[in-house]
Structure 1
């Protein structure tokens, strides 16, 4: 079963909207074109797509008014809205931010850039759907979680790490940002910036690339951020004076959240940061309710993960709701083969302590929208909503490598490695929680 991201493409030019739907299809999007702006709010509220993409303006209503109506409607305010705008000027960005728009892309951007900019909103939609479903499952276990504040983003000052040389163009951009609502912390060297990211907390990072620089230093820092567990969600804006590196999706594949010309000016960079920070805070709004579902009634008493009963109940709900919205779910089962030996050799307390550390390690390597649960004393299952088999396989490899390269403390100054087997299964039509878990267990193999 393939996951199709449902997108409504709306624009006054029906031909352009249909062409955009056709462009998105091979990338895994099921598109629906709408050309009458006044029809968009009702159409979106009924269809509940993952994303709304506004392809230019409308003849019958202002495009920003469409955004405002969608964001006022409780039935659609959670759906990310991205606009392709021919102007994409600072004034248009300001109006977009005020209307509730989630991102604005300059019309004419390359298709791979459009896809790269849409990708984070697919994840945001996944997080929202998982949050609603998980809170509903938690209620079955007498765990009540409030959802009343998940759409609100209060305006606050942002702490931004600005990395770039002292050249006039770069210094001017940093100065312009510091005059907005951002507290700018300057670093001129990527190594120093990397070290600072390890000891301080930031809302976003800006990496400025001067005319005489290549993008290698920016990509080095992006790679570090995306491969560091407590940093990989940090918004990263690359602002480059060398526009030759901005014509395709290379910066996004290297880890940038957004890539813009440095010559656009401080206001353009500030507006881009506002879009990025707001998206990050919407994620954090969902983070709270998602983590709040893990309480005594839903928790395994030995290692603090979700218990097996919660996993099975929630997986049943996900399979049912996923069938309705063409979703998909993948499971990875991790079996720790030497836990039984350690239990016999050192006792139950040591084995329990080891599994607690393994559980903590797995939780640090999965997303907040994923679930990790204990199936038995030496087996842990991770559930990945809306994850294709390839994505689940990559997550499995990353987690298994992390487990097998870690020396776990078993007390008395002793450490031990774990021997892991893993099995992966993705939902198929007609699957139940029991059949999907059983198939993942059947796939257990050495990694």
Structure 2
């Protein structure tokens, strides 16, 4: 996995050493000698990861990290603090400033590259989402505190040692609810049902923790869930395996409550950011295929689905029919009741349309007051029945247009069944010609396309 990494250190020897190690693994490296330069380089170069020294003149690594994480342009970049400091308070301070991890000098190469690969995998996923949803509002999620009411989360702790699990639970942030599971199967079931984070004790002899992590990562329902693994101090081999499997973070026994709280907070913040990105992406995709006024599909979407249905019918699949419905005298409704009244009619029309269709039928607002219905598996007889049912439903009851006023509304409909070898455009033209015939013959009518059975 190739990536650009920013190395920040005021000691040239340290920079050269890290640069050489990273380039040997085919990473692209850029450098900075202090915090101010690091912030500027990060904004311009947009590295995939930052290795940040803590002890620097002018601005230390903690303040540099805070500024990076408060800047929407750099907030998404993972930061690993690299320092000779190894006290509890130093680690917690680094994590609370926004760092994604904390490595102590001298750095073990195996551990370094395992951490780097793990964070780069995560950033790759988030970048894919960010490229599809660039709203600045999403960046604010990374700076939300975990302890507020809106951030209540559920953590599942899986450990064969009930006393250890109880200690882990006690170290959670105040607004994180915890559930302890001694049985891995029960833990997975609980995670699938309702969880935001997993803490898995890899030191437990009661089960294979690495295999459990691998199983969680292979399950679609839990694949994106953050995992914090608990390991014995100095267990580099299992730490590397865990990170390669997809564990998000590691904490060593004896577990410090402050460090656990900081690491959990970081993971939950990151998860909320990713969840919001996915939610916004889903909404964007929905908006791309939906008419905002009526909630029906839009023209682009229905054209694509119609082509698929016609191609399927041409390849020996089920028949397909197409209905085009146009509200009669809609301009006079707009002229009399205004565009707000016209919009009310369009929304109510869409509601009645959906009420009268089969579950597998697809309806769309094709433009203005014109609607298209694709009926997979329906021949001309079914299409005529559906058309008459819709026409009668529209004419049966006046439409509300605002201020207690109502207006009678009727609809004209043309329909056609796809012929063998016919493409979607030809089917649309025939249904449209039938619609014009219905309108020309007096409106509030249903007409079949030419050469269709009467």
Match of 2:42 in 1: 44
Q: Distance in 2 between matches of 1:108 and 1:95?
A: 20
- Quick check: 87-96 or 46-55, which moved more? 87-96
CA 128–162 in structure 1, closer or farther in 2 if over 3 Å, else same: closer
Greater Rg by CA? 2
Structure 1 residue 233, shift from structure 2 partner: 1.1
* Counterpart contact for 1:12–1:56, Cα < 8 Å: no
Match of 2:181 in 1: 187
Match of 2:269 in 1: 278
Q: Superposition RMSD on alpha carbons, in Å?
A: 4.1
Q: Summarize deviations over 1:36-91 as a string: whole Å, max 9, x none.
A: 33322222222222222114421332111111232344433333322123334432
Match of 2:285 in 1: 294
Q: Distance in 2 between matches of 1:12 and 1:242?
A: 30
Structure 1 residue 257, shift from structure 2 partner: 1.8
CA 285–249 in structure 1, closer or farther in 2 if over 3 Å, else same: same
Q: Summarize deviations over 1:273-316 as a string: whole Å, max 9, x none.
A: 22222222222232233223213445799999x97999xxxxxx
Match of 2:16 in 1: 18
Q: Of the candidates 71, 75, 78, which is equivalent to residue 77 of structure 1?
A: 75
* Counterpart contact for 1:180–1:270, Cα < 8 Å: no
1:202 matched to 2:222: no
Q: Summarize deviations over 1:253-281 as a string: whole Å, max 9, x none.
A: 23322233221333332322222222222
Q: Distance in 2 between matches of 1:185 and 1:92?
A: 29
Structure 1 residue 100, shift from structure 2 partner: 2.6
Q: Distance in 2 between matches of 1:151 and 1:309?
A: 39
Q: Of the candidates 341, 344, 349, which is equivalent to residue 316 of structure 2?
A: 344
Aligned residues: 316
CA 48–154 in structure 1, closer or farther in 2 if over 3 Å, else same: same
Match of 1:103 in 2: 101
Superposed, 1:335-374 pairs within 5 Å as 340=312, 344-348=316-320
Structure 1 residue 234, shift from structure 2 partner: 0.8
* Counterpart contact for 2:231–2:239, Cα < 8 Å: no
Q: Distance in 2 between matches of 1:95 and 1:242?
A: 20
Q: Distance in 1 between matches of 2:253 and 2:281?
A: 37
Q: Summarize deviations over 1:378-435 as a string: whole Å, max 9, x none.
A: xxxxxxxxxxxxxxxxxxxxxxxxxxxxxxxxxxxxxxxxxxxxxxxxxxxxxxxxxx
Match of 1:251 in 2: 242
Structure 1 residue 238, shift from structure 2 partner: 1.5
Match of 1:217 in 2: 208
Superposed, 1:21-420 pairs within 5 Å as 21-127=19-125, 129-131=127-129, 133-135=131-133, 147=138, 149-155=140-146, 156-166=151-161, 168=163, 170-171=164-165, 173-178=167-172, 180-198=174-192, 200-210=193-203, 213=205, 217-241=208-232, 243-244=234-235, 246=237, 248-297=239-288, 340=312, 344-348=316-320
* Counterpart contact for 2:9–2:53, Cα < 8 Å: yes
CA 294–171 in structure 1, closer or farther in 2 if over 3 Å, else same: closer
Q: Distance in 1 between matches of 2:103 and 2:241?
A: 16
Q: Distance in 1 between matches of 2:301 and 2:248?
A: 35
CA 152–11 in structure 1, closer or farther in 2 if over 3 Å, else same: same
Match of 2:336 in 1: none
Q: Summarize deviations over 1:158-216 as a string: whole Å, max 9, x none.
A: 31111112354x24533532574432201111122122223x211111112446x28x5
- Name stretches of at least 5 consecutive residues in structure 1 with no aligned partner: 137-143, 311-335, 357-447
* Counterpart contact for 1:85–1:106, Cα < 8 Å: yes
* Counterpart contact for 1:149–1:285, Cα < 8 Å: no
TM-score, length-normalised on structure 1?
0.59
CA 124–257 in structure 1, closer or farther in 2 if over 3 Å, else same: closer
* Counterpart contact for 2:312–2:318, Cα < 8 Å: no
Q: Distance in 1 between matches of 2:213 and 2:280?
A: 29
Q: Distance in 1 between matches of 2:187 and 2:47?
A: 39
Higher relative contact order (CA 8 A, sep 6+): 1
* Counterpart contact for 1:89–1:268, Cα < 8 Å: no
Match of 2:420 in 1: none
Structure 1 residue 134, shift from structure 2 partner: 2.9
Three-state SS of the structure 1 residue aligned to 2:116 is helix
Q: Distance in 2 between matches of 1:307 and 1:157?
A: 38
Q: Distance in 1 between matches of 2:210 and 2:10?
A: 38
* Counterpart contact for 2:165–2:180, Cα < 8 Å: no
Match of 1:374 in 2: none
Match of 2:327 in 1: none
